[in-house]
């Protein structure tokens, strides 16, 4: 590197020629004219020499190598306008590469959730002791999202579940979500496989291969078509349930309202049904919210139970992982015949005939940032027969 360049860089960084510093390069001895400047430039991270511990000051430097040094000096706040002008083309090329690299590194994001849960259950019939059982599992989910362009993105989710109840090391890993989302004009589009929760989820909370369209802000209109997917023994998860959904949601004064229509076509023709769902959510005093769901079906595919059902819930506050110490409590009652739901959200064990009815009480707490715990107790009974289930379901979440 020429004497003038070294001195210019040193002065631009506010480095005096008399300042002392340890020189890391074996071929720049004390007393060398460049000793102080090279030492200070090395300490500032502007020059780093060669891998053998030498500075190589007598070697010819390419313009690109010099541009890298100038770029580092500029990043340190040095005013090197003349050098920048001299190496403008090389800096431009370097800047393109750096910008693209930074853009790529910001383009892909990873988020995760670890959930440990334990559930104990008592299943019985009125008048007997029933049976007691428990389950425990560790679930890990990793979401990977990537920006396709300014309007479109991709999201994938890998899930691993380890069964901790049987001590045999049973586990399974699967790609659970893979979808793209973006905009076409003013319409929001989502297509692929994911878990969709419509409204409160008391009618529909299902894994699906689907296409979803949404339009609007204060008044939002949605439409979705797809098929159910899953691994469980439930009818919905048979891979062959085709469904259609249309909905509208908005605010009416202090009340949030949504109306949804579902049409489901099963393998068994007699299981087909159309379901309508109206949800109202009202925060009537600060932090205290009342939610009411009413759902009804077009026919009784199960003639032993009614065509309509309802769920009422009262919740106070709620744990927020971003606010350690935040907490919440809730209570709800549900009366849900199987005619009027497809795959509802619940941690109660609701495999009784005809649907279920009962109540739930629960609480959650943010133990620390991104660490929350939740406990729920369910007492339900089958709509047909006299099966009774009582479940204590506890969860510990770590989000990152």
Mean pLDDT, residues 162-184: 90
**Model pLDDT, residue 251:** 94
Does residue 28 lie in a domain region? yes
Same-domain check for residues 268 and 340: yes
Higher-pLDDT residue of 10 and 107 is 107
Give how far the C-alpha of residue 42 lies from the chain's centroid of Cα atoms, to the nearest Å.
43
Same-domain check for residues 338 and 302: yes
Mean pLDDT, residues 251-277: 91
Residue 339, SS3 per DSSP: helix
Does residue 235 lie in a domain region? no
Higher-pLDDT residue of 109 and 2 is 109
Closest CA to 209 of 185, 172, 175: 175
CA distances from 160 to 155, 163, 165, 373, 382 (A): 17, 10, 15, 20, 32
Please say whether the beta carbons of 302 and 339 come within 8 A: yes
Please say whether the beta carbons of 342 and 202 come within 8 A: no
Does residue 206 lie in a domain region? no
Same-domain check for residues 251 and 347: yes
Same-domain check for residues 73 and 138: no
**Model pLDDT, residue 263:** 95
Q: What percent of the chain has pLDDT over 90?
A: 52
Does residue 198 lie in a domain region? no
Q: Could you report the per-residue pLDDT of 271-285, keeping only the tens digit for each?
A: 888 999 999 999 999
With a cut of 50, say whether residue 110 has pLDDT above it.
yes
The H-or-E segment that residue 64 falls in is: helix 63-75
- C-alpha 197/C-alpha 208 separation (Å) is 11
Query: What is the chain's mean pLDDT, rounded?
Result: 82
Does residue 193 lie in a domain region? no
Same-domain check for residues 8 and 122: no
Q: Could you report the per-residue pLDDT of 337-352, keeping only the tens digit for each?
A: 999 998 888 888 766 6
Does residue 228 lie in a domain region? no
Does residue 185 lie in a domain region? no
With a cut of 50, say whether residue 109 has pLDDT above it.
yes
Final residue belonging to a domain, choices 51, 86, 121: 86
Give me the domain span that covers residue 159: 108-177+241-399
Q: What residues have CB less than 8 Å from 390, skipping those under 6 apart? A: 121, 122, 377, 378, 379, 380
pTM reported for the whole predicted model: 0.71
Same-domain check for residues 276 and 313: yes
Same-domain check for residues 42 and 173: no
pLDDT band at residue 107 using 50, 70 and 90 as cut-offs: confident
- C-alpha 316/C-alpha 243 separation (Å) is 34
Question: Looking at residue 165, which CATH number applies to its domain?
Answer: 2.40.160.10
Neighbouring C-alpha atoms within 13 Å toward the C-beta of 312: 2
Token pair, residue 266, equals: 């099963």
Same-domain check for residues 115 and 168: yes
Does residue 232 lie in a domain region? no
- Listing DSSP states for 363-386 in one string gives EEEEEETTEEEEEEEEEEEESSS-
9 burial via Cβ count (<10 Å: 0-12, 13-18, 19+): buried
**Model pLDDT, residue 9:** 59
Higher-pLDDT residue of 1 and 331 is 331
Mean pLDDT, residues 252-271: 90
Cβ count within 10 A of residue 117: 17
The total number of structural domains in the chain stands at 2
- C-alpha 297/C-alpha 307 separation (Å) is 5
- C-alpha 293/C-alpha 309 separation (Å) is 8
Same-domain check for residues 128 and 276: yes
At CA 207, angle to CA 204 and CA 208, rounded to 5? 100
Weakest mean pLDDT among 12-26, 134-148, 276-290: 12-26
Same-domain check for residues 24 and 164: no
Given the DSSP bridges, would you call strands 371-382 and 255-265 parallel, antiparallel or unpaired?
Answer: unpaired
Same-domain check for residues 7 and 126: no
Residue 254, SS3 per DSSP: coil
Q: Could you report the per-residue pLDDT of 183-193, keeping only the tens digit for each?
A: 999 999 999 99
pLDDT band at residue 38 using 50, 70 and 90 as cut-offs: low
Question: Phi then psi for 398, rounded to 5 degrees?
Answer: -125, 120
Same-domain check for residues 81 and 126: no
CA distances from 212 to 176, 189, 226, 239, 243 (A): 18, 6, 9, 18, 12
């Amino acid at each position: 590197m020429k004497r003038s360049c070294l001195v210019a860089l040193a002065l631009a960084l506010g480095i005096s020629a008399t300042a002392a510093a340890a020189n890391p390069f074996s071929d720049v001895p004390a007393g060398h004219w460049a000793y102080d400047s090279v030492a200070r430039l090395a300490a500032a991270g502007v020059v780093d020499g060669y891998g053998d511990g030498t500075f190589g000051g007598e070697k010819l430097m390419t313009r690109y190598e010099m541009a890298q040094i100038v770029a580092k000096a500029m990043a340190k706040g040095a005013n090197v306008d003349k050098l920048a002008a001299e190496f403008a083309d090389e800096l431009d090329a370097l800047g393109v590469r750096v910008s693209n690299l930074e853009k790529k590194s910001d383009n892909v994001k990873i988020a995760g959730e670890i959930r440990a849960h334990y559930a104990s259950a008592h299943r019985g019939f009125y008048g007997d002791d029933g049976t007691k059982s428990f389950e425990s599992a560790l679930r890990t989910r990793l979401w990977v999202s990537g920006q396709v362009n300014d309007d479109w993105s991709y999201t994938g989710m890998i899930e691993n579940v380890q069964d901790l109840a049987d001590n045999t090391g049973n586990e399974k890993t699967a790609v659970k979500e893979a979808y793209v989302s973006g905009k076409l004009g003013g319409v929001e589009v989502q297509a692929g496989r994911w878990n969709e929760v419509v409204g409160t989820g008391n009618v529909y909370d299902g894994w699906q291969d689907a296409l979803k369209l949404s339009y609007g802000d204060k008044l939002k209109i949605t439409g979705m078509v797809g098929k159910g997917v899953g691994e469980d023994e439930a009818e919905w998860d048979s891979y062959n349930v085709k469904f259609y959904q249309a909905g509208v949601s908005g605010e009416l004064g202090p009340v949030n309202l949504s109306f949804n229509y579902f049409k489901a076509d099963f393998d068994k023709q007699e299981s087909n049904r159309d379901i309508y769902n109206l949800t109202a959510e009202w925060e009537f005093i600060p932090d205290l919210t009342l939610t009411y769901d009413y759902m009804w079906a077009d026919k009784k595919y199960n003639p032993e139970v009614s065509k309509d059902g309802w769920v009422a819930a009262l919740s106070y506050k709620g744990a927020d992982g971003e606010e350690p110490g935040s907490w919440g409590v809730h209570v709800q009652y549900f009366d849900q015949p199987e005619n009027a739901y497809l795959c509802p959200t619940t941690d109660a064990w609701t495999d009784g005939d005809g649907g279920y009815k009962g109540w739930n009480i629960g609480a959650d707490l943010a133990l620390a940032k991104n660490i929350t715990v939740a406990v729920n107790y369910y007492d339900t009974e089958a709509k047909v027969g006299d099966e009774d289930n009582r479940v204590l379901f506890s969860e510990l979440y770590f989000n990152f």
